[in-house]
Amino acid sequence: MSEVSSKEMYEVKKTLKELENKKGRGTELVSVYIPPEKQISDVRKQMVDEIGQSSNIKSKQTRKNVQSAIEVIIQRLKLFPKAPEKGLVMFVGMIPKGGPGTEKMETYVFQPPETVQTYIYHCDSQFYIEPLRQIIEYKEVYGVVVLDRKESTIAVLRGKRIDILKHLTSGVPGKHKAGGQSQRRFDRVIELAAHEFLKRIGRHVDEAFLPLKDELKGVLIGGPGHTKNDFVEGDYIHYEIHDKIINIVDTSYTGDFGVREVIDESADTLDEMDIMQEKKLMRKFLTGLISESGLSTYGEKEVRQNLQMGAVETLLISENLKTKRQTYTCPACNTIDIITTRQHQEAPEQRCPKCNEIMKVTGTQETAEELIELAEEVNSSVEVISIETEEGTQLDKAFGGIAGILRYKVK
């Protein structure tokens, strides 16, 4: 699997957020997913067919809007002689800004961070964003281990896909009723065999999960009975994998069914994972501030400086950050100046600091995007913080939406 940059992810997530609230007046918003192996010329033909089909739409307004959306798609497809490496996603439609007559054609065309699997043409009153959401979720990797005394299954969950990696059986005999001396000896043999089996599972778990440890967001353990708890409490797996255990589930089954059960039962835990990660980092940042360790920084200027020095371990950006960077160039002496403004603010008049000429805006970029790019250049990790938690709101309101956890104290 190829690496997806934080910036790509940030952009897709942002687009998803924008798209999920858009609604057409009728069933007239068109979504198209094109897998990389699909011929663009075929897609174009299908679009022409769709225009033909759409003549059956009763409402004249809806018909007209669907047809113009498809026209836009056909035009845009001309820019692609063939589908990009990971495919192409397009959302086109008339979005009302207020009452009737305020609709404006909106077009989103982009190359997704992960490969489009199936061709989809979809026309509805909302954009069809579910496949795109799944493409993103595919990035979330969890390890799953289900076990009892008899067998164990090791699996990996990627988004909604489950890959079974290993089935193990123990050969540990069941309880035996002999009574007396031989019963005790027999029980001891069983205990030893069970212990050996847990060791074996542990080795396979390490082998399966250690190579994934950087992308692994958590490990889920399940099974009927107490064996899973013995496994977690004992010293059977590598500490870096052990540290990632986020849920232990009682199941009715082992095997593939057990894996499914563990995942279903962990839905809430998985939802909370992102939030937990955000909270954890924000607390680290806040603790750093209070302790005056010098390892926490905030504010656009300070954070950018620290990024440029390579001192930032983790860049924290509020999803609510709404500023952009305007580049001004002096037409007389070419002096360049960059200032930050609010996202929807008109660029204020700027005079050249050298010759006092009125400067021209020659470039604009979102501040979040610029900082994330900078972070990637110097290998800082990036966490976009939602405003769903108290800590996240604090980042937005009290720290201007930009903060950093530093690798070392900067004088």
Supply the minimum distance, in Å, between the C-beta of residue 327 and Zn ion.
14
Residue 27 vs 329, nearer CB to Zn ion: 329
How many residues does this entry show for the chain? 411
For residue 336, state whether it binds Zn ion (rule: CB under 5 A): no
Supply the minimum distance, in Å, between the C-beta of residue 353 and Zn ion.
8
Supply the minimum distance, in Å, between the C-beta of residue 357 and Zn ion.
5
Chain residues 357-376 in contact with Zn ion, contact rule CB under 5 A: 357
Residue 164 vs 355, nearer CB to Zn ion: 355
Chain residues 27-66 in contact with Zn ion, contact rule CB under 5 A: none
Residue 247 vs 326, nearer CB to Zn ion: 326
- Binder to Zn ion among 189, 309, 332, 336 (CB under 5 A)? 332
Residue 357 vs 373, nearer CB to Zn ion: 357
Supply the minimum distance, in Å, between the C-beta of residue 358 and Zn ion.
9
For residue 352, state whether it binds Zn ion (rule: CB under 5 A): yes
Residue 178 vs 332, nearer CB to Zn ion: 332
| Binding footprint of Zn ion, residue count (CB under 5 A) | 8
Contact region for Zn ion (CB under 5 A) — 102-110, 270-278, 347-355, 393-401?
Answer: 347-355
Residue 192 vs 358, nearer CB to Zn ion: 358
Tokens of 137: 């979720």
Supply the minimum distance, in Å, between the C-beta of residue 360 and Zn ion.
11
Residue pair 392/386 in contact by the 8 Å Cβ criterion: yes
Residue 250 vs 357, nearer CB to Zn ion: 357
Residue 256 vs 337, nearer CB to Zn ion: 337
For residue 335, state whether it binds Zn ion (rule: CB under 5 A): yes
Half-sphere exposure of 79 (CA within 13 A, CB side): 10
Contact region for Zn ion (CB under 5 A) — 168-176, 252-260, 268-276, 352-360?
Answer: 352-360
Contact region for Zn ion (CB under 5 A) — 46-54, 124-132, 204-212, 335-343?
Answer: 335-343
Contact region for Zn ion (CB under 5 A) — 22-30, 46-54, 334-342, 364-372?
Answer: 334-342
Contact region for Zn ion (CB under 5 A) — 34-42, 138-146, 170-178, 350-358?
Answer: 350-358
- Binder to Zn ion among 333, 336, 338, 358 (CB under 5 A)? 333
* CA-only gyration radius of the chain, Å: 28
**Phi-psi map region of 255: left, alpha, beta (phi>0 left; psi -120 to 50 alpha):** left
Longest dimension (CA), the chain: 102
Contact region for Zn ion (CB under 5 A) — 30-38, 53-61, 243-251, 348-356?
Answer: 348-356
Residue 105 vs 332, nearer CB to Zn ion: 332
Q: How many CB atoms lie within 10 A of CB 380?
A: 24
Residue 332 vs 398, nearer CB to Zn ion: 332
CA–CA separation, 191 vs 198, rounded Å?
11
CA–CA separation, 40 vs 225, rounded Å?
55
Residues 6+ positions from 231 with CB-CB distance below 8 Å: 145, 147, 198, 201, 202, 221, 237
Contact region for Zn ion (CB under 5 A) — 38-46, 95-103, 330-338, 374-382?
Answer: 330-338
Report the interface residues with Zn ion, using CB under 5 A: 330, 332-333, 335, 352, 354-355, 357
